[in-house]
Amino acid sequence: MKAKKLAELAMLTAVALIIFIVELQFPNLTPIQGVKLGLANIITVYAVYKYTAKEVFLIVATRVILGALFSSHISVILYSMAGAMTCLAGMLLLKRVIPLKYLWLCSILGAVLHNTGQTVMAVILMRSVAAAANYPILIVTGCIAGLFTGICAQTVLKRDLRNTGKS
C-alpha cells in the first residue's frame, strides 16, 4: 500500500474515531438501549463508495477496536464488531447495485444490517431471544439515523469527487 493511500485511510480512521468518541459524550436521546445516531458511519459509507473492500475493512475494524479501547467499553467489542461487519458486508454488496445518487439508501440498509448484527450477537451471548425485544424500535430508529448519515456521506463524497475532477 502506498504511503499516500495509507495516510488517507489513517486520516479517515482518526476522523471516524473522533466522531465516535464525541458522540459518546451526547446524552442518550431515548431510554431505549442501543439507540444512537451512529455518526461515525458517515465515514464508513463515504469509504465504501471511494475505497476498496479491503481498505474499508481496515478503517472499520481499526475504528471499532480503538473505539472500544478509548471508550473503556471493551466488553461491547463483540456487539460493535458484529454490527459493523454485518453492515459493511451488506453495504459492499449493495454498492454494486445502488449508484451514488442513492447512496443514502445503502446507508439505511447498512443501519438495518448493523442493528441486525448487534441483535443477533446479543441473542447469542445472552442465550435468550428476549435480547431482541428492542429490535423493531432499533430498525425504525436505525432507518432514520441511516438516512441522515447517508445524506451526509453522499454530500461529502459528491464534493470530494467534484474537487478531484472525478464526477
Q: Give the pLDDT of residue 83.
A: 95
CATH of 3-27+34-161, one of 1.10.1760.20, 2.60.40.10, 3.40.50.300, 3.40.190.10: 1.10.1760.20
Q: Give the pLDDT of residue 75.
A: 73
Q: Where are the domains of the chain?
A: 3-27+34-161
- How many Å separate Cα 164 from the centre of its chain? 25
Average pLDDT score, the chain? 92
Longest dimension (CA), the chain: 52
- Per the document, the length of the chain is 167
Q: Give the pLDDT of residue 140.
A: 95
Q: Give the pLDDT of residue 105.
A: 96
Under-70 pLDDT residues of the chain: 165-167
Residue whose C-alpha is closest to residue 64's, from 4, 107, 21: 21
Q: Give the pLDDT of residue 26.
A: 86
Spatial distance between the Cα atoms of 117 and 132, rounded to a whole number of angstroms: 11
- Only one residue has cell 463524497, namely 157
Q: Give the pLDDT of residue 166.
A: 63
State the DSSP string of 70-103: HTT-GGGHHHHHHHHHHHHHHHHHHTTTS-GGGH
Residue 57 identity (one-letter amino acid): F
Q: Give the pLDDT of residue 163.
A: 81
Question: For the purposes of burial, counting CB atoms within 10 Å of the CB of 7, is it exposed (0-12), middle (13-18) or buried (19 or more)?
Answer: exposed
| Beta carbons of 42 and 19 less than 8 angstroms apart | yes
pTM summary value? 0.89
